[in-house]
Amino acid sequence: MRRHGFVAGFLLLPVALYLVFVISPYAQAFQIALTDWRGVSAGLNYVGLDNFRRLFGNDAFWQAIRNHAVLLVALPLATIALALAFAYLLNAQGGVKGSGFYRVVFFLPQVLAVAVVGVLFKAVYRPDSSGVLNGALMKVGLEPAGWLTDQRLALWSIIAVMVWQAVGFYVVLFSAGMAAIPKDVFEAAALDGAGRLTLFFRITLPLIWDTVQVGWIYLGIAAFDAFALVNVLSIEQGGPDGATTVLATEIYKNAFGYSRFGYASAMGVALFFLTLTFAAVTMRVTRRERIVY
Amino acid sequence: MRRRLFGGLSQAVLAVWALLIIGPLIWTLLASFKSNSEIFGDALQLPGELRWDNWLRAWEKANVGTYLLNTVVVVFFGVLGTMLLSSMAAYVLARYRFPGNRAIYFLFVSGMAFPVFLALVPLFFVVDGLGLLNSHVGLVLVYIAYSLPFTVFFLTSFFRGLPDAVAEAAMMDGASHTRTFFQIMLPMAKPGLVSLTIFNVLGQWNQYLLPLVLLPGDKNKWVITQGIADISTIAGYEADWPALFAALSMTVLPVVVAYIVFQRHIQSGLTSGAVK
């Protein structure tokens, strides 16, 4: 009997807190998505799938989806490629000189707040010679670029910051995987005359494939967020002219800017199903035979 | 020969990336000592003198002192609550059999599958309905609630891996369940607790969305991420860019120092989640 009291006592507070602040909002979101609620009326007025119909006819929504598609491909690809290369260089032949230092430096952006990083890069990207990038460009006689104001550049400038911040995490992750591969596997292959590239693609990569897959999912989920960076870094929160907008930004704007709570919730539901689909598809596509060593 | 070439080339590649990381940070630090005209002049120039008054203005006029203090308070109680409640729940879920155990475990774990943006609108009204909008208590409770899924998931597997014999021996000696937990099992789980504490401190320290939504009014209650984003907008109007860079430096510097001191723990703490 005392045992049951103990179990219940230990679970009461965490479960209660979790139900109130996490589960109930998630459940309500699906409900509010079916209403035209604007936050003032006491009752909910159900409008069926109206919000979703409006959503699918809305340009801003599709612009955000297009941006997510770009993010979803570019962010993992660039981050994983760089991280794999750096991790390989750091681990080759028992590690290059100063590998400890590089590991510390590369990981550093990971501990900085995204919002703070956004403000920092806003200064780096400034359009005239007072921005680091354009200052350097003009020094060598090139035209300054509108990193955040040019429609074609803005999203890429933001992706670059995301990659800048993320790479170090995956270097550490992949390094751990690479360090776990027994040395004699490499020695045997090298004796057979395999070059460095062959070693990388035929041995290292297949053996840490599981970790790469985990990294891909993490970065994919990050590609569905991007809120803090877009909100702080881009001009007009998602601009110029929607060029950098993401679903999270649209949800925030519609809810807390225009009080369109029903519509914003519908967008949240769409985001949820997109994330879920991504996770399911990735798991299926990247599943491979696990190599035991 | 080829080996030397490869070594040199990899050094060059790694050094370039290191420079790309450190460069913007050093530049921010230098800019915090510049005057307004120096900031809008050549970006690659050093400051003429060390203008500490920029830092003073950032600390007092731009409220960075208040923002940092608020963040420390919120994160302290947020992480303390997260670790206490998560380890209690995880311990019971990992080591006691009772009806509903699996269901509660999956309830917690499923929280990891939902994007927080889905909950945003109702969460705002739940917090508002409890009268906790614009309060640190509200923010702390929400931080705890949203840190539970991952922390419980991780700690449950950790507690499952601990040996049974010690706990059984303590119970034989007449220790209560509660005492066994706090005096025997919690100390044994220390490595896991350390990793997750670091993970949660960083996550909550860097949180931007939740304070933005839940502390919209009173500026004196804001946390640092909100404050910095706001200062960057104000700097545009009032043209006090040196204070913005000083504020940025003040925010980044303690984090960098803490990171350098604890980097081993931090790296393993953050990546352990991915490996599991």
| Res. B276 pLDDT band, cuts 50 70 90 | very low
CATH number, residue B82? 1.10.3720.10
Instruction: Answer yes or no: is B112 within a domain.
Output: yes
Instruction: Answer yes or no: is B153 within a domain.
Output: yes
Q: Tokens 């001191």 correspond to what residue?
A: B261
Which domains does chain A carry?
A: 52-286 (1.10.3720.10)
- Interface confidence, given as ipTM, is 0.85
Pair B74, B136: CB distance under 8 Å: yes
**Interchain CB distance below 8 Å, A18 and B119:** no
**Above 80 in pLDDT, residue A239?**
no
**CA B35/CA B50 separation, integer angstroms:** 10
3-state secondary structure of A84: helix
B-proximal residues of A, 42-81, CB under 8 Å: none
**Interchain CB distance below 8 Å, A24 and B104:** no
**Above 70 in pLDDT, residue B147?**
yes
Residue B31 Cα to chain centre, angstroms: 26
**Interchain CB distance below 8 Å, B209 and A118:** no
- Residue A248 forms contact with B (CB below 8 Å): yes
**Above 70 in pLDDT, residue B5?**
yes
Q: Give the minimum alpha-carbon distance from A206 to chain B in angstroms, rounded to a whole number.
A: 17
B-proximal residues of A, 179-198, CB under 8 Å: 196
Q: Tokens 């877009």 correspond to what residue?
A: A230
Instruction: Answer yes or no: is B174 within a domain.
Output: yes
A235 torsion bin: left (phi>0), alpha (psi -120 to 50), beta (else): beta
Q: What is the pLDDT of residues A39-65, one digit of tens each?
A: 777 777 777 777 888 888 888 888 889
- Of B20, B263, B267, which is closest to A164 when you measure between CB atoms? B20
Average pLDDT of chain B? 85
**Above 70 in pLDDT, residue B2?**
no
Tokens of A54: 């409006």
Buried b (16+ CB within 10 A) or exposed e, A210-246: ebbbbbbbbbbbbbbbbbbbbbbbbeebbbbebbbbb
Instruction: Answer yes or no: is B221 within a domain.
Output: yes
Percent of chain A topping pLDDT 70: 96
Instruction: Answer yes or no: is B139 within a domain.
Output: yes
**Above 50 in pLDDT, residue B169?**
yes
Which residues in chain A are contacts of B212 at CB distance < 8 A? Answer: 252
Instruction: Answer yes or no: is B198 within a domain.
Output: yes
Instruction: Answer yes or no: is B228 within a domain.
Output: yes
**Interchain CB distance below 8 Å, A111 and B255:** yes
> Which of A63, A231, A227, A58 shows the shortest CA–CA distance to A148?
A231
**CA A126/CA B198 separation, integer angstroms:** 34
Residue A255 DSSP class: I
**Above 70 in pLDDT, residue A93?**
no
Instruction: Answer yes or no: is B173 within a domain.
Output: yes
Residue range of the domain that includes B67 = 62-239
Which residues in chain B are contacts of A128 at CB distance < 8 A? Answer: 40
Best of A6, A19, A21 to disrupt the B interface (most B CBs within 10 Å) is A21
**CA B12/CA A197 separation, integer angstroms:** 18
Into how many domains does chain B fold? 1
Buried b (16+ CB within 10 A) or exposed e, B186-198: beebeebbebbbb
